[in-house]
Amino acid sequence: MIMGISIATFTQLHVLISLTGIATGIVVVSAMLKGRYARIWTATFLFSTIATSVTGFMFRSKFGPPHAIGVISVVVLAVAVTALYGLKLQGRWRWVYVVSAALALYLNISALWPSYLAWEYVKCSRSIGFAVCSR
């Protein structure tokens, strides 16, 4: 159990939050490439990507590559949030935001494969049992 939710359900929630971050991140980066600012999409992207990192740390396992990506992602997202909301994209902070937002999206996408494998494991374990799926 994680936060009172079964591990299977929590994994599904984590993956859905991650997919939300990826989908909204693609919209945000696309808007940035066109010189536009999508306020609601950006807030949703930043919130869901932060939530992805936070929920990722809640899985019990030894520190490994997913945790390292999570730490880097949290730092990159802190920079993006500071540049956007704290420093209002003034001067060079506009470029800092653009690079950090794009990097956060990249990191979230790079974590998609392990999340997909976890999702498949949950589906497998529900249908045929843990012993067969753990190989």
pLDDT tens digits, 68-124: 889 999 999 999 999 999 999 999 999 999 999 999 999 999 887 765 666 666 666
For the chain, the straight-line distance linking the first and the last C-alpha, in angstroms and rounded, comes to 22
Instruction: Using DSSP, state whether 62 is helix, strand or coil.
Output: coil
pLDDT tens-place string over residues 1-24: 888 899 889 988 998 999 999 999
Cα separation values, 70 from 42, 77, 86, 125, Å: 20, 10, 22, 26
